Amino acid sequence: MAIQIHDTLAGEKVELRPIVPGKIGLYACGPTVYDHAHLGHARCYVVWDVVVRHLRARGLEVKYVRNFTDVDDKIIARANERGEDPAALAARFADSFLEDMDAVGCLRPDVAPRVTGTMPGIVALIERLVERGFAYAPGNGDVYYAVRKFPAYGKLSRRNLDDLISGARVDPGDAKRDPLDFALWKGAKPGEPSWDSPWGKGRPGWHIECSAMTLEHLGAPFDIHTGGKDLVFPHHTNEIAQSVAALSDRLAPEDFARHWMHNGFVEIDHEKMSKSLGNFFTVKDVLVRHDGEALRLLLLGTHYRKPINFSDGLLADAERRLAYLYETLEKADRIAEGNAADAPPAPWAEAARAALDDDFNTAAVLGILAEAFTAANADADRKGKKSPADRAALARFACDAREVGSELGILQRPPGRALEALRAKAVARRGIDPAMVEARIAERAEARRARDFARSDAVRDELAALGVAIQDGPTGTTWKVE
């Protein structure tokens, strides 16, 4: 079993080779908590959640670290706007982020460090960089990283210094020696949170925070560093420069993180999501109207390195697909009741896992699942008494579906409960009164008992016009919103 990943640093697909056999250290750059999580966050962390799930399913021991940036310019600015303490604001939005990630089925990381809890490590790392000549303190309370001291700067982002210098600038009041240099420590400003350091009170720059947290919880080198494509430059580029300079005499980027993985952006109706375009959605906005597992299903329908398109209509389609999957599972469970899945996993299940081995191709897995569910649904609906072999086959299917689903983070709810939740979201969106639907179904049942089939058909047509489909089965009449 060989797992292939697209390594941004290598610029190609490579085999994942753990530094310590059987173990993986994975760091995901976490959110800056000054607002609620948005769809870009959901896409990013659903991707890394699948990576962690699959690596564990393949027998690897994964230590998953995802941080919170809880002190930052944006946090301070938002707190000042609201007249709130920056620490309280950050804590509130960190809790909100966890709620949203729970709602889209993400596992909690093994460690979730916060910048404010990592200050000793941050200060020590900056001191090390100053001692080694890669950083300098101009005497105004700031400390800067000297970019030109690091020969491999820009290797991850494939940018050279000549290209970068044309867009660089020195702001008024900066004490940089070079426009490319970036802040490791910022001297305290009135009214801002600050911490003690050898250079006076202040707070860390953004990039040094992640270096310190990875080193504290994973050491160096570690196996996989992940994040959105927007972090390749400058954040991850700067992380490499400062981490390697502090640790390694070889100054090789691989001495920090062996592999780098980055996910694509979320687009709204084929346009980049941004507040300026008015197409910016938080996870909470979306989950008011839609199911969290359906959002996850939509996010997994595109390979993680490609941009993904989002719209309300696409998410409604995902809900319908999810309902079909759970309806099929419910049938399989009912028919196979009491039968154990004794046979080995079906070939389609192994093909799904192989697709995840190939750079976590969730879109291919969903295609394989769709074919398997279509076949199982046909088997379940085939008329006639089911043989023991039929029931055993459906038991095997249901087991495989849940096991593959667990690596994607889907299909883990009891089918009946999931279908109720999906229907509740759908009726709320469409403004349908469930009590009215139940009353019409009861009226239809009475008409059928009276053999008034014209009235029975009229009720069915009336409900269909509202988007309600009814289905008669051995346990009674059920309904759903189409």
How does pLDDT run across 67-85, given as a tens digit for each residue?
999 999 999 999 999 999 9
Domain 19-268 fold is Rossmann fold (3.40.50)
pLDDT of 166 > 60? The answer is: no
Q: What is the domain partition of the chain in residue ranges?
A: 19-268, 319-417, 432-481
Residue 1: band (very low, low, confident or very high) from pLDDT cuts 50, 70, 90: low
Burial 189-215 (b: 16+ CB within 10 A, else e): eeebbbbebebeebbbbbbbbbbbbbb
pLDDT of 164 > 80? The answer is: no
User: pLDDT > 70: what percent of the chain?
Assistant: 97
Please list, in sequence order, all residues whose beta carbon lies within 8 angstroms of the beta carbon of residue 361, skipping any fewer than 6 positions away. Answer: 303, 355
Query: How far is Cα 86 from Cα 237, in angstroms, rounded to an integer?
Result: 28
CATH 1.10.40 for domain 319-417, yes or no, is no
Q: What is the pLDDT of residue 430?
A: 87
Q: Mean pLDDT, to the nearest integer, of 133-145?
A: 96
Residue 452: band (very low, low, confident or very high) from pLDDT cuts 50, 70, 90: confident
Residue 441: band (very low, low, confident or very high) from pLDDT cuts 50, 70, 90: confident
**Is 19-268's fold the same as 319-417's?**
no
Give the model confidence (pLDDT) of 8-65 as tens digits: 999 999 999 999 999 999 999 999 999 999 999 999 999 999 999 999 999 999 999 9
Q: What is the pLDDT of residue 310?
A: 92
Nearest to 322 by CA among 297, 345, 344, 304: 297
- Residues paired with 408 in a beta bridge: none
Q: What is the pLDDT of residue 275?
A: 66
The number of angstroms, rounded, from the C-alpha of 266 to the middle of its chain's C-alpha atoms is 12
The number of angstroms, rounded, from the C-alpha of 261 to the middle of its chain's C-alpha atoms is 13
Q: What is the pLDDT of residue 204?
A: 97
Give the model confidence (pLDDT) of 218-244 as tens digits: 999 999 999 999 999 999 999 999 999
Query: How far is Cα 38 from Cα 228, in angstroms, rounded to an integer?
Result: 13
Residue 454: band (very low, low, confident or very high) from pLDDT cuts 50, 70, 90: confident
pLDDT of 408 > 60? The answer is: yes
Q: What is the pLDDT of residue 399?
A: 96
Q: Residue 67 in contact with residue 113, Cβ under 8 Å?
A: yes
Q: Mean pLDDT, to the nearest integer, of 383-388?
A: 88
3-state SS record for the chain: CCCEEEECCCCEEEECCCCCCCEEEEEECCCECCCCCEHHHHHHHHHHHHHHHHHHHCCCEEEEEECEECCCHHHHHHHHHHCCCHHHHHHHHHHHHHHHHHHCCCCCCCECCEHHHCHHHHHHHHHHHHHCCCEECCCCCCEEECHHHCCCCCCCCCCCHHHHHHHCCCCCCCCCCCCCCEEEEEECCCCCCCECCCCCCEEECHHHHHHHHHHHHCCCCEEEEEEEHHHHHHHHHHHHHHHHHHHCCCCCHHHCEEEEEEECCEEECCEECCHHHCCCCEHHHHHHHCCHHHHHHHHCCCCCCCCEEECHHHHHHHHHHHHHHHHHHHHHHHHCCCCCCCCCCCHHHHHHHHHHHECCCHHHHHHHHHHHHHHHHHHHHCCCCCCHHHHHHHHHHHHHHHHHHHHHCCCCCCHHHHHHHHHHHHHHHHCCCHHHHHHHHHHHHHHHHCCCHHHHHHHHHHHHHCCEEEEEECCEEEEEEC
* Token pair listed for 129: 């960089």
Residue 268: band (very low, low, confident or very high) from pLDDT cuts 50, 70, 90: confident
- Residues paired with 23 in a beta bridge: 61
Q: Mean pLDDT, to the nearest integer, of 122-132?
A: 98
